Amino acid sequence: MTRRQRILGIVGTGLIGASVGLAARRAGWYVAGYDLRRATAQRARRRGALDAVVSRAFLYSRCDVIVLAVPLPATLAELAYLRVHPPQRANVILDVASVKVPVQRIGRSVAGFVGSHPLAGGTHGGPAAARADLFLGRPWAYVPTACAALNRKASRFLASLGAQPVPLDAATHDRILALTSHLPQVVAWLFAARLRGRDSPRRMTDLCGPVACELLRLTRSRTSMWEPILDANRHHIARELRGLARSMQDAARKLEARGTPAAR
Amino acid sequence: MTRRQRILGIVGTGLIGASVGLAARRAGWYVAGYDLRRATAQRARRRGALDAVVSRAFLYSRCDVIVLAVPLPATLAELAYLRVHPPQRANVILDVASVKVPVQRIGRSVAGFVGSHPLAGGTHGGPAAARADLFLGRPWAYVPTACAALNRKASRFLASLGAQPVPLDAATHDRILALTSHLPQVVAWLFAARLRGRDSPRRMTDLCGPVACELLRLTRSRTSMWEPILDANRHHIARELRGLARSMQDAARKLEARGTPAAR
């Protein structure tokens, strides 16, 4: 590493973490990565997403900026750790979890922490699916702190990855995402379940239109990653599910009313 | 045109018609196209989808195979015409409408007619969006007639466009498509309407995840084209809407039940 090069530390080198690494290396960062599964970090390095695979201790002691790119429960665990053991050098710490209220609950007492969430992803997880342009032009929500300088640094870092930083308070984020991300995911699972429940699911799948194909594609993303997110945001998601279900019942009624001469 | 080259006639040179033209020319056909809007046929020709823009009279008198690539009401109108004025030379006539029961009602008394439906499409209509590979590897359903030779010819023609011919009776087709194509389209519209109904729809749209983006993309396809399809298949679609709505209500209940200690 060159003398002046700043170090980015990435905790969790799956699809998101490795994509951050690829984009950050392009932007001139020296990228150090840690993953609970060392093989995953090594794959990310081979993919060009990391300059070095490091220990968690190195990462928290030597990096200038840290990105926690792990599932929600692990994000909360890392923040709980960082609250007690603040990193020695990092002045900006970001996460990528899809819900922000539970993250902020711990994160607000971690120095340098700015909760954030990239609106980007893919069907396949893991570093093999990582792309340097995954965030290019995509919104990346972040929860502004009371410190304007910290917010600026966080926002500038996200922009350097090609993303569009969108400031948003945690409650608004979770309310919006229930509709724009969590609801479609749940609908995709329910749609797939209905399809599988038919006489000849194979033929059904063969005859899917483009939207149905996209919904089925979604259901191939890992359920284990979604479980804690749905749990954390369940009240908003349940309200959205009920709202859309009501719209669908209304639409069904209107469609059938067309058949009666009076309604035409 | 070379002496032995067979002539394919396409009625309606929008996205589907022009894509059939592109694929068929690659497969060695001389392609003649007619569109009610002459400018659309001329655009299709400039795009390389047609060898010639012809009159409807030429098309029905000179072509060996005819593809009706027009919206449902126009398909029914052409079939009603062809029932009275059978084409002079064509021994295979195909359509592309997304519902088959109403098409078969007229089509079964048109000599050489095989109802069919390609499971392919795009957001943007018109010949400008046409692609030679639009049907490549995609299923193309067709309704077998009592004539095995005719079915073979139709199936071979579809395969020559790169599609996978799928034999299916009309009632089964419409029942399946209600779930795999019409339901997702209606859900996309209802989802978009809920999004637009919010305080800041612009910000909502900015924060859409990949599925939500795909659903919104779908709503940009022309409603006028869908209206008669939904009407024709309304009973199946209404049943699918109610079924998925019930699954969503159940999911909402289960999600919220997680919050009560007893349910955990």
User: Each residue of A73-89: pLDDT tens digit?
Assistant: 999 999 999 999 999 88
pLDDT of residue A264: 37
**Do A177 and B209 make contact, defined as CB atoms within 8 angstroms?**
yes
Supply the mean pLDDT for chain B: 92
Nearest beta carbon to residue A247 from set B190, B253, B255:
B190
In a domain, A2, yes or no: no
pLDDT of residue A263: 37
**B30 and B79 inside one domain:** yes
**B21 and B151 inside one domain:** yes
**B164 and B92 inside one domain:** yes
In a domain, A43, yes or no: yes
In a domain, B61, yes or no: yes
**Do B176 and A210 make contact, defined as CB atoms within 8 angstroms?**
no
- Give percent of chain A above pLDDT 90: 79
Q: What is the mean pLDDT of residues A198-223?
A: 80
Which residues lie below 8 Å from residue A69, measured CB to CB, with a gap of 6+?
A10, A11, A12, A13, A14, A16, A17, A20, A95, A96
Task: Report whether pLDDT(B200) > 80.
Answer: no
Which residues lie below 8 Å from residue B196, measured CB to CB, with a gap of 6+?
none
**Do A245 and B245 make contact, defined as CB atoms within 8 angstroms?**
yes
How many distinct structural domains can be found in chain B? 2
pLDDT of residue A219: 84
Distance from CA of A96 to the nearest CA of B (A): 14
Q: What is the mean pLDDT of residues B10-22?
A: 97
Q: What is the mean pLDDT of residues B50-68?
A: 96
Nearest beta carbon to residue A206 from set B139, B193, B198:
B139
Compute the residue count for chain A. 264
Q: What is the mean pLDDT of residues A188-195?
A: 92
- Judging contacts by C-beta atoms under 8 Å, the chain B residues touching residue A203 are 166, 176
| Range in A211-220, A248-257, B9-18 the model is least confident about | A211-220
Task: Report whether pLDDT(A106) > 70.
Answer: yes
User: Could you tell me the maximum CA-CA distance found in chain B, to the nearest angstrom?
Assistant: 81
In a domain, A185, yes or no: yes
Task: Compute the distance between CA of residue A174 and CA of residue A117 in angstroms, rounded to an integer.
Answer: 11
Question: Residue B137's closest chain A neighbor by CA?
Answer: A206
**A161 and A240 inside one domain:** no
Q: How confident is the model at residue B3 (pLDDT cuts 50, 70, 90)?
A: low
Query: Measuring CA to CA, how many Å separate A119 from each of A81, A210, B134?
Result: 26, 22, 29
**Do A245 and B246 make contact, defined as CB atoms within 8 angstroms?**
yes
Question: Residue A253's closest chain B neighbor by CA?
Answer: B238
- Judging contacts by C-beta atoms under 8 Å, the chain B residues touching residue A198 are 179
B115, B138, B168 - which closes a domain: B168
In a domain, A102, yes or no: yes
In a domain, B1, yes or no: no
Task: Report whether pLDDT(A244) > 90.
Answer: yes
Q: Which residue has the higher pLDDT, B217 or B24?
A: B24
Query: Measuring CA to CA, how many Å separate A42 from each of A50, A134, A203, A233?
Result: 9, 20, 41, 33
- Give percent of chain A above pLDDT 70: 95
Q: How confident is the model at residue B76 (pLDDT cuts 50, 70, 90)?
A: very high
**A123 and A49 inside one domain:** yes
pLDDT tens for each residue of A114-160: 999 999 877 678 899 999 999 999 999 999 999 999 999 999 999 99
Q: In what order do the strands lie in the sheet with A139-142?
A: A116-118, A139-142, A164-167
Task: Compute the distance between CA of residue A148 and CA of residue A158 in angstroms, rounded to an integer.
Answer: 15
A112, A146, A168 - which closes a domain: A168
Nearest beta carbon to residue A234 from set B179, B245, B255:
B255
**A33 and A127 inside one domain:** yes
In a domain, B22, yes or no: yes
pLDDT tens for each residue of B113-171: 999 999 987 767 889 999 999 999 999 999 999 999 999 999 999 999 999 999 999 99
- Judging contacts by C-beta atoms under 8 Å, the chain B residues touching residue A166 are 203, 206-207
**B249 and B208 inside one domain:** yes
**A238 and A257 inside one domain:** yes
Boundaries of domain holding A81: 7-168
In a domain, B161, yes or no: yes
**Residue from A172, A187, A227, A239 whose CB has the most chain B CBs within 10 Å, to mutate:** A187
A149, A168, A187 - which closes a domain: A168
pLDDT of residue A214: 80
| Range in A108-117, A178-187, B206-215, B236-245 the model is least confident about | B206-215
**Do A249 and B248 make contact, defined as CB atoms within 8 angstroms?**
no
**Do A211 and B215 make contact, defined as CB atoms within 8 angstroms?**
yes
**A145 and A239 inside one domain:** no
SS3 of residue B226 by DSSP: helix
Give the CATH number for residue B24: 3.40.50.720
pTM of the model: 0.87
**B159 and B226 inside one domain:** no
Task: Report whether pLDDT(A259) > 90.
Answer: no
Containing H/E element for A5? none
**Do B184 and A215 make contact, defined as CB atoms within 8 angstroms?**
yes
Give the CATH number for residue A203: 1.10.3660.10
**B214 and B162 inside one domain:** no
Query: Measuring CA to CA, how many Å separate B223 from each of A169, A185, A256, B71, B171?
Result: 36, 25, 18, 11, 24
For helices A223-232 and A183-196, angle between their N-to-C axes, nearest 10 degrees? 130
**A147 and A114 inside one domain:** yes
